[in-house]
Amino acid sequence: MALTSPSSKSSSQILTLDPTHPQPPTRHHHHTSSSIPTNLPPAKAIKTHPSTSAEENASVYFVGNATTIIQWHGIRIMTDPNFLHAGDHVHLGPGVTSVRKLNPAVDLEVLPPVDLMLLSHYHEDHFDRHVEASLRRDLPIITTPHAQSILTAKGEDSFTQVAAVDVYNQALVDIKADKTGRRPRLRVTGMPGKHIPMGKPLEKLNEVVGAIPPTNGWMLELGYGNHGGTTADFEPGYRIYISGDTLIFDELKEIPRRYDGQAINLMLVHLGGTTVPSPAMLPLAMMVTMDAKQGVELMRSLGDFQNQVKEAGLDGQVVYLDRGDEYRFYVGGEKV
Ligand SMILES: [Zn+2]
């Protein structure tokens, strides 16, 4: 990946991914390249949207928790990697732990090549310690400025290709392709996120100890444009809103306002229902990730998304992915 500074006054950073040189996500694999799986395990179930064109050219594979793998144009994008097993403990803050309930659908060590990671926040529930120790150091990462500052300050163990994308800032990702003209690109925009509710005792604690890190969501747009160009010539063919680890709060209403008149094709909402502190410490407990009720609320606040679902006559069509399931979709815009 090449990380170049913006040449214009645009705040976009430009990254380049090369799918013709696939690399495993972990550094242990480097000397045993023949043993790297070329694909994810077969999906337990393959789901599509009711309006499917039967021309699906992209997919989301659900690993577990907030970990998904998005595949398009020969590249794989991994979100918030947590590959702990059932019963493993996650350290979330001073004296605060959580226990993983279910196994991931696939293990970190047997993943096929991964080209890019989107990390919503630097926190063990979405980025476990084993993953952090195992990942290859040159894996391209897009994350919060907070997480970037940590990942690049680990001395010889630092990650070397980390782009910091703050809320409403953008990174453009060029995907090398053997073709001329319109070429595949990603545009990643930071979306607001809030890990715990305002005014609650834990937030005051958080301010004191810095226990809970700043959290982003992402708008991931898959589309086409001229490589190296500014965001102006990028044309999205599919738009995915990834919630990250957020609760419902007012700033989320800004998202449909910003994308007014533009389709948000897919929303990946993390409904983990994790509590901090542990449920044993109630009534101090509060949700860290959203439960199902708040997920519905978020869909309401994304009114544009819901209206488009309604207009298409698809009201109430929510696809639920179990671990190991895959959702396939069509990214348009390659042919003009
Ligand atoms: Zn978290």
Alpha helices in 57-156 (DSSP H): 129-134, 145-151
- pTM of structure: 0.84
Between the CA of residue 114 and those of 82, 103, 118, 316, what are the distances in Å?
A: 15, 20, 11, 33
> Cα of 76 to ligand 1 centre, how many Å?
23
Any idea what DSSP says for residue 98?
A: E
Rounded-to-integer distance, Cα 281 and Cα 96, Å: 10
Q: What local confidence, expressed as pLDDT, does residue 276 receive?
A: 46
Question: Domain coordinates of the chain in residue numbers?
Answer: 3-312
* 73-46-108-130 Cα dihedral, nearest 10 degrees: 110
Q: Which one is predicted more confidently, 230 or 19?
A: 19
Q: Which one is predicted more confidently, 165 or 202?
A: 165
> Cα of 47 to ligand 1 centre, how many Å?
28
Q: What is the mean pLDDT of residues 141-161?
A: 96
Q: What local confidence, expressed as pLDDT, does residue 8 receive?
A: 38
Q: What is the mean pLDDT of residues 74-97?
A: 87
Instruction: Of 148-157, 167-176, 232-241, give the lowest mean pLDDT range.
Output: 232-241
> Cα of 38 to ligand 1 centre, how many Å?
31
Q: What local confidence, expressed as pLDDT, does residue 161 receive?
A: 95
3-312 has which CATH code? 3.60.15.10
Between the CA of residue 210 and those of 95, 153, 194, 263, 275, what are the distances in Å?
A: 13, 18, 14, 37, 17
Q: Which one is predicted more confidently, 277 or 335?
A: 335
Let me know: does 225 contact 185? Beta carbons within 8 Å: yes
Q: What local confidence, expressed as pLDDT, does residue 269 receive?
A: 77
Residue 307: pLDDT band by 50, 70, 90 thresholds? low
Q: What local confidence, expressed as pLDDT, does residue 294 receive?
A: 65
CA angle 311, 218, 301 (to 5 degrees): 40
Task: Choose among 63, 27, 3: nearest CA to 228.
Answer: 3
Q: What is the mean pLDDT of residues 57-85?
A: 94
Q: What local confidence, expressed as pLDDT, does residue 284 receive?
A: 43
Rounded-to-integer distance, Cα 73 and Cα 178, Å: 11
> Cα of 54 to ligand 1 centre, how many Å?
37
Q: Residue 194 above 70 pLDDT? A: yes
Q: What local confidence, expressed as pLDDT, does residue 81 receive?
A: 96
Token pair in block for residue 27: 């550094």
Burial code (b: 16+ CB inside 10 Å, e: under 16) for 17-48 equals: bbbeebbbbbeebeeeeeebeeebeebeeebb
Q: Residue 200 above 60 pLDDT? A: no
Residue 170: CB atoms within 10 A of its CB come to: 22
Q: What is the length of the chain?
A: 336
- In the three-class reduction of DSSP (H, G, I as helix; E, B as strand; rest coil), residue 284 is classed as coil
Instruction: Enumerate residues with CB within 5 Å of ligand 1 (an ion).
Output: 123, 125, 245
Residue 299: pLDDT band by 50, 70, 90 thresholds? low
> Cα of 234 to ligand 1 centre, how many Å?
32
Residue 11: pLDDT band by 50, 70, 90 thresholds? low
Let me know: does 158 contact 137? Beta carbons within 8 Å: yes
